[in-house]
Structure 1
Amino acid sequence: MKYDLVLLHPPTVYDFRKEMLFTGPISDVVPSSPVFEMYPIGLTSIGDYLERYGLKVKIINIANRMLLNPNFDVEKKIKRIKTKAFGIDLHWLPHANGSVELAKIIKKYHPDTPVLFGGLSSTYFHKELIEYSCIDFVVRGDTTEKLILMLLNKLENKENDSFFDIPNLTWKRNNQYFYNELTYVPDSLDEFEFPGYRYIIRSVFKYFNLLDPLPYKGWIQYPNTAILTSKGCTYNCLICGGSKNAYELNCNRKKLVMRSPKKMLEDIAFIQRFTRAPIFLLNDIRQGGKEYVDEFLSGLEKMDLKNEIVFELFNYADEEFFRRLDRAMPKYSIELTLESADEDIRKYNGKLPCTNTKVIEMLQYALKHNCAKIDLFFMTGIPNQDYESAMRNVDFCEIIHKECDESSRISYFVAPLSPFLDPGSPAFENPDKYGYKKFCYTLEDFRAAMKQPSWKNMLSYETNKMTREEIVRATYDSALRLNEFKFRHNIITKDVYDEVAHKISKSVEFLHRLDEIEHLPDSLKSDELAKIKDEVDKINRHSICGKNELKWEVKKLFADIPSLTYIGVELLVTEIIKGIKCRLGKIDRNMVVISKSNQK
């Protein structure tokens, strides 16, 4: 089969299976492994949107295929692909190395096939990316579905010299670089699918491949699902690449845009057709205002809701909010990133800027109104935080645990801000002002940092209070202390406690060994790194918390294969009807344009 577009998701470091990379805890509190194999949900939205117009679009999660099979031959896979264009996401900066290396492989076997890059990090570094000979286009901004369709139309019609009218596009011709203005910033998201689960399921049956589009390793066994509620933000946290200022600087998005409650309710109804796993609502729905929240929760209340809904909260919530959640659905949970137990530090950084008394009050309200699980996240490596401050995070966990009647429904986590300070964030743009010292400035800096053998040297920053060594020490010491707290209060079992304590101990040992290897002659380094690779790989995942601590307990973890099959057939029939309409000219992909009134 020949495709119109094949979207590839890269690993963080392309040759991670060969390189000795001690990634430490950089992915311990996300579903992905240190390879960050979970692709951004924007890929599914692109696939879904393009296929509405009769195009054939396939997602291949190269990172996950490499994880699932150590012998998976990436070059052989890419060589066999027949497509009119390739797309690679560089959304999260840890993929800086793997994305470009994947583009080089594509050009090796398909020198005349256009390669597109997109994502938030691609947008930020678009001028550097376009200078690589293996990259032909960078589609900038946070919503690129229409732009990609316009670009593919021009490529299909051989209009290779007239890309000036596609907003947000970076491109080149005859060694000249062109940067079209970033003016397309849609103020409605309802015509796009975030995420496009219908597209994923349909593509499995349409292209006869289950493994290529899987979101991450283990998804079939534990199919976490998520819905993007908004783009932009009303908050301006210093270290966040998705903050208000970062969105405006990078994507020209000057205000928040929410998906409508109606669309989110449709997504939830569809998801629970094929799984009973939790549904995460990404970003705080309260940013949409009271009427928005009331409409959404009223809709949930009318549904025959079977899945647990997980809400992300950015700020204090009163008792009425939790009472309303409890009334609207049979089971819900919340996630809170406190970052620091020190109120002044938290306020300075912009994350949950309320007092500790209010934090505890909010947690008590949540428990009172039947919140099933509360995840609390603390961080190391934030401005004004010294070693003692990082350790006080665990002291605050003790206080919370006591004040909340030692509830087992609260889970506690600590993790470093790693590996990079987000480009576009206020702290990255003004490091001296906000308490940072940067080591990485350009895309090549980040590409090189990601290949450092030790995660300590991957860190792209130091703070005004801690060096990289001190950030690492504070991370492991606070994680060890938190592990002891959890075991002492029966939050984790002895087996989990022992495993985490062992991994932390081994991690500290490996850091010392890597420091010693760093001082060896280059001729000896590779051999010494190779000797410890297998040992390091064993502790690279879940090194500071138990592997199941982040998971929600549900009666049925597995994706419902019969339901997926039924849905897949149903969607394929719809696809066939759509294809007939395209051939009859009732759906014309060339009619999609972006008018001046829709540009900013």
Structure 2
Amino acid sequence: MKTYDCVFIHPTTHIKNTDSTKSDSITYVIMPLGTLAIANLLEREGYKVKVVHTGIEEMLDRDFSIKDLLKKYEASVVGIDLHWYVHSYDAIRLAETFKRNSNAFVVLGGFTASYFAEEILQRFESVDAVIQGDAEIPLLELLQRRSDGEFDEVPNLVYRDGNSLKKSRKRFIAETPDLDRLNFSNFTLLSNFDEYRRCISQFGDLDPYAAKSKLKTQGWICLGRGCSVNCSYCGGGRKAFEILSGRRYPIFRSKEKVVETLAKFEEMKISCAYMDFDPLPQKRDYQHDLFELIRREKIDISAQFLLWSLSDKRFLRDFRRTFNPLYSTITISPESGSEHIRKLNKGFYYSNGELFRWLDDARKEIIPVQLYFTSGLSGETERHFEKTIKLGKKLVVEYPVVSISCNPIELEPASPRFLHPKRYGISLKVRSFIDFYNIFKRLASGLPATTQLGYRTDFLSEPQIVELSRRFREAISLKHYEKWQKFYFGS
């Protein structure tokens, strides 16, 4: 058995197959960006660390059990990321297993753990502490004070002290120099990294395009933290960051450090870099300077860039010149075909006319574009959604390099809709951590979830919201068929 100062555990989401002859489905497999960076920081400070992705372990060995891990590793501290609410059940299940079978100190971190920290500690004795917000320095200091148990000076920490809870008064909020001291690409710390880099989406077993992973490899890259606006549905907007970590403005990682990471990606045969950070679309000097540096360093890699709002022609031209076209795409989310609904819900607004002009520019640069729409937005009615379907059909006909998808929006903790449901015209079906926990416990047990989305709106029931997205996908598929039938047969 190997002994470690800290073992990082990434949970996953399980959907039990009621057919006993088939394996359970494993989904939501992507790790938070900070996990490897924090692990590397601890290693640099002289601690022995390991990162284990339980979903990857199970995908490689369907008989894998966390108890097998306990036979291999003995840890003083176990860090479990609970960033996304879809891991609510599995994170606690893992904590309980470690607590029953070891003497490890169990600490949780991430957005969901941060928002529900006190409830988690009150309900689950298997969790010893939660780090709220940025966790790099707090976890390092927790390890430094592990022997004496004096945690009151550890920043961002909520912890169990006998039969009561305590919360540190100290706060750590990372700035650019803090991000630049982190190494996000020490992949040697992650067990079975070669398999993880083949995860090209969150969906794991449920990914309809999993066959692509035989060729494509992908790495998620940190460009910064924070946001400047509040979209109604997003649990990672400006207000959410302020609640969860105290952050009031976005920060950018230095361009030189980003390029170092991309160079490491290239060295590790990662073919595509996933970039999802665009908090100041009105001023994209950072991206232009970054792209220029990538070209100067002659890094040959594809990129999937998620724009948070429309760009100008220069951005599109620079993107095309910078990245290998093999897997490169730009993703943007209009969300609705109704300009009124888009303005009500999105922090960065643009009209349909502006969207079409931007798509014209993207087509001239021959850049593939992914567009995401949704149903269930605040204020949306079936009449509004008909505009979304109409827009989608027009896009299929006019823009051959555009792929389109639509799924109902789910409820995220700390989003404006979660914080102020009446203001945003929704009724909540989940309000606490235990609600999220129970949903995913039922799925892992082979039982239907009590709610799929976690809410209904003033105008649409939950089944209606789900049905609208299905109708959109059906309409778009039919339009694709009609388009290619006309191309081949002229009718």
TM-score range for the pair, normalised by the shorter chain length? 0.7 to 0.9
Q: Secondary structure at the match of 1:72?
A: coil
- The one-letter code matched in structure 1 to 2:463 is E
Is 1:118 the equivalent of 2:118?
A: no
Q: Secondary structure at the match of 1:272?
A: helix
- The one-letter code matched in structure 2 to 1:148 is L
What residue in structure 2 maps to residue 386 of structure 1?
A: 381
Q: TM-score, normalized by length of structure 1?
A: 0.72
What residue in structure 2 maps to residue 53 of structure 1?
A: 45
Q: Secondary structure at the match of 1:178?
A: strand
Q: Secondary structure at the match of 2:83?
A: coil
Change (3 A) 1:325 1:80: closer
Aligned partners of 2:6 and 2:50 also within 8 Å: yes
Deviations 1:166-220 (A, max 9, x none): 11001111211101136211222433447x22x21x236xx7x567976745767
Q: Secondary structure at the match of 2:180?
A: coil
Deviations 1:380-429 (A, max 9, x none): 12112223433432311222244x4x42x1111111113xx111111110
Displacement, 1:320? 2.8
The correspondence of residues 512-527 of structure 1 with structure 2, limited to 5 A, is none
Q: TM-score, normalized by length of structure 2?
A: 0.87
What residue in structure 1 maps to residue 145 of structure 2?
A: 154
Change (3 A) 1:80 1:269: closer
Displacement, 1:460? 0.9
Deviations 1:316-341 (A, max 9, x none): 22223323333444534210011101
Displacement, 1:479? 1.6
- The one-letter code matched in structure 1 to 2:189 is S
Displacement, 1:456? 7.1
Aligned partners of 2:429 and 2:451 also within 8 Å: no
Deviations 1:526-556 (A, max 9, x none): xxxxxxxxxxxxxxxxxxxxxxxxxxxxxxx
- The one-letter code matched in structure 2 to 1:433 is R
Match 2:339 to one of 340, 343, 355: 343
Match 1:187 to one of 163, 175, 184: 175
Deviations 1:138-166 (A, max 9, x none): 1110x2111111101111xx211x21111
2: CA distance between counterparts of 1:360 and 1:277? 30
More strand by share: 2
Q: Secondary structure at the match of 2:95?
A: helix
Is 1:449 the equivalent of 2:410?
A: no
Displacement, 1:34? 5.8
Unmatched 5+ residue regions in structure 2?
205-209
Change (3 A) 1:244 1:344: same
- The one-letter code matched in structure 1 to 2:93 is E
Q: Secondary structure at the match of 1:298?
A: helix
Displacement, 1:50? 0.8
Match 2:156 to one of 168, 171, 194: 168
Change (3 A) 1:105 1:212: farther
2: CA distance between counterparts of 1:12 and 1:254? 31
The correspondence of residues 561-580 of structure 1 with structure 2, limited to 5 A, is none
Change (3 A) 1:416 1:454: farther
The correspondence of residues 352-371 of structure 1 with structure 2, limited to 5 A, is 352-371=348-367
What residue in structure 1 maps to residue 414 of structure 2?
A: 424
Q: Secondary structure at the match of 1:238?
A: coil
Change (3 A) 1:5 1:342: same
- The one-letter code matched in structure 2 to 1:307 is I
2: CA distance between counterparts of 1:258 and 1:335? 20
Greater Cα shift, 475-484 or 387-396: 387-396
Q: Secondary structure at the match of 2:360?
A: helix
Q: Secondary structure at the match of 1:172?
A: strand
Q: Secondary structure at the match of 1:293?
A: helix
Deviations 1:96-136 (A, max 9, x none): 111111111111111x2200100011000000122211011
What residue in structure 1 maps to residue 207 of structure 2?
A: none
Displacement, 1:352? 4.3
- The one-letter code matched in structure 1 to 2:86 is P
Change (3 A) 1:226 1:308: same
Change (3 A) 1:442 1:324: same
Match 2:264 to one of 261, 270, 285: 270
Aligned partners of 1:37 and 1:215 also within 8 Å: no
Unmatched 5+ residue regions in structure 1?
22-32, 495-600
- The one-letter code matched in structure 2 to 1:59 is V
Q: Secondary structure at the match of 2:407?
A: strand
2: CA distance between counterparts of 1:120 and 1:463? 25
2: CA distance between counterparts of 1:484 and 1:307? 35
Deviations 1:449-506 (A, max 9, x none): 2225345723211112211111121122222222222233349x99xxxxxxxxxxxx
Q: Secondary structure at the match of 1:326?
A: helix
Aligned length: 463
Greater Cα shift, 240-249 or 348-357: 348-357
Q: Secondary structure at the match of 1:71?
A: coil
Aligned partners of 1:337 and 1:351 also within 8 Å: no
Aligned partners of 2:281 and 2:311 also within 8 Å: no
Q: Secondary structure at the match of 2:422?
A: helix
- The one-letter code matched in structure 2 to 1:362 is W
How much identity, in percent, do the aligned residues show? Answer: 23
Change (3 A) 1:20 1:360: farther
What residue in structure 2 maps to residue 566 of structure 1?
A: none
The correspondence of residues 390-405 of structure 1 with structure 2, limited to 5 A, is 390-402=385-397, 404=398
The correspondence of residues 171-570 of structure 1 with structure 2, limited to 5 A, is 171-181=159-169, 183-188=171-176, 189-193=178-182, 196-197=184-185, 199-200=186-187, 202-203=188-189, 216=199, 221-275=215-269, 277-284=271-278, 286-287=280-281, 289-331=283-325, 332-371=328-367, 373-402=368-397, 404=398, 406-407=399-400, 409-418=401-410, 421-450=411-440, 451=442, 453-454=447-448, 457-490=451-484
Q: Secondary structure at the match of 2:423?
A: helix
2: CA distance between counterparts of 1:260 and 1:322? 22
2: CA distance between counterparts of 1:281 and 1:320? 18
Q: Secondary structure at the match of 2:221?
A: strand
Q: Secondary structure at the match of 1:121?
A: helix
Change (3 A) 1:374 1:20: same
Deviations 1:495-527 (A, max 9, x none): xxxxxxxxxxxxxxxxxxxxxxxxxxxxxxxxx
Displacement, 1:18? 6.0
Q: Secondary structure at the match of 1:300?
A: helix
2: CA distance between counterparts of 1:109 and 1:121? 25
2: CA distance between counterparts of 1:284 and 1:470? 32
1: CA distance between counterparts of 2:450 and 2:462? 6
Q: Secondary structure at the match of 1:457?
A: coil
Displacement, 1:35? 2.4
Aligned partners of 1:427 and 1:434 also within 8 Å: yes
Match 2:92 to one of 94, 100, 125: 100
Q: Secondary structure at the match of 2:145?
A: helix
